[in-house]
Amino acid sequence: MNVLFIDDEEEFLELMQNRLTKRGFTVSVANSGEKGLVLVEEQTFDVVVLDVKMPGCDGVDVLRQLKERHPDLAVLLLSGHASTDVAMTSIENGAADYMLKPVPLNDLIARLRDISNRQS
């Protein structure tokens, strides 16, 4: 499965890339919404994992742009801050799912596979 992580936390990106690559995923990373949008135009991804709170273009804005350009692209939003409003807005704007950080790796993997299977 080809996954793109968009998050402003460099350590989180490195950790996810290392751990998921060891489990057979192909992982690309972008440390900003803008960079993530560029990568989506250059490559094909099964799922995009997107942080909600980022400087500049936040996750909800990136989600809207992704869904405008690629309506069938599966997007999983991650947030370190519980917010029912953001979760509802994300789902209304086409997110496949919403999870809170820190997310256990096995739970994240199960959710990625579930989302990917629903898209197939």
φ, ψ of residue 30 to 5 degrees: the values are -140, 135
Backbone angles phi, psi at 20, to 5 degrees: -75, -35
DSSP 8-state assignment for residue 23: T
What the block records as the tokens of 50 is 């997107």
Sheet hosting strand 74-79, strand order edge to edge: 26-30, 2-6, 47-51, 74-79, 97-100
Tokens matching residue 119? 């898209």
pLDDT category at 69 given cuts 50, 70, 90 is very high
pTM of the model: 0.95
Whether residue 8 contacts residue 55, with contact meaning beta carbons closer than 8 Å, is answered with yes
Model confidence pLDDT, tens digit, residues 3-54: 999 999 999 999 999 999 999 999 999 999 999 999 999 999 999 999 999 9
**Better-predicted residue by pLDDT, 87 or 59:** 59
Q: Determine the Cα–Cα distance for residues 112 and 58; give it in Å rounded to an integer.
A: 21
